Amino acid sequence: MVGLSTNSAIREEKANKVAAVQEKFKAAKMAIVTEYRGLTVAQITRLRREIRQASGEYQVIKNTLVRRALKDTAYGSLDHLLQGPTGWVFGYEDPVALSKTLVKFVEENEKLAIKGGLFEGEFMDQAKVKVLAQMPSRPELQAKLLALMQAPVVQLLRLIQEPASRMVRLVEAIRKQKESQN
């Protein structure tokens, strides 16, 4: 009797873990599979912190649990990458900032490798993740857009202020001329 209740408890716990992983896949805009073989605990902790700052999450999840969780999600095509020690990067907000953070970490730590990922239904290999990392992030794009929107207004203000500025310069020139004559 004790063995049966323990087995059912284990099954229930695994089912809860699979459901939790499925929720992560459903909430994520992007998922990237990495191989973390050889990283120290301190390096993984630093990676998690940096990814969290980029509105993402890094988790090491058993491949068997992930296979079950992938079945009913848009990320099912990533199943073939589940070999060896795999870590998952879940991106919830800005995929560009997250990929920049991950690619920078991979360049600093050769023991972490990007196996592939999925963004908006499209499979990305390591090269595509690097291309995504080279794109401007959302804040950079917002700043450029704001500058473009402000440029006509700034030019209009200069145009409006120019006659008054000319008048002030003319009056000042006349004043200096009269002072020099006296």
pLDDT tens, residue by residue, 91-143: 998 888 899 999 999 999 888 999 999 988 889 998 888 888 888 877 777 78
Tell me: do 87 and 141 sit in the same domain: no
pLDDT at 31: 92
Tell me: do 127 and 162 sit in the same domain: no
Tell me: do 65 and 152 sit in the same domain: no
Reading across the β-sheet that carries 113-119, which strands appear in turn? 56-60, 86-91, 30-35, 113-119, 122-124
**Chain-centre distance for alpha carbon 148:** 24
pLDDT at 99: 92
Write down the pTM of the prediction: 0.71
Give the structural domain span for 172. Answer: 137-182
pLDDT at 3: 52
Q: What is the pLDDT of residues 68-88, one digit of tens each?
A: 888 878 888 888 889 989 999
CATH number at residue 99: 3.30.70.1730
pLDDT at 115: 93
Tell me: do 91 and 173 sit in the same domain: no
Of the candidates 128, 141, 140, 134, the one whose C-alpha atom is nearest the C-alpha of residue 30 is 128
Domains contained in the chain, number: 2
Tell me: do 117 and 182 sit in the same domain: no
Mean pLDDT of 20-40: 90
Distance CA 95, CA 56 (A): 9
Distance CA 79, CA 66 (A): 8
Tell me: do 89 and 145 sit in the same domain: no
Tell me: do 131 and 153 sit in the same domain: no
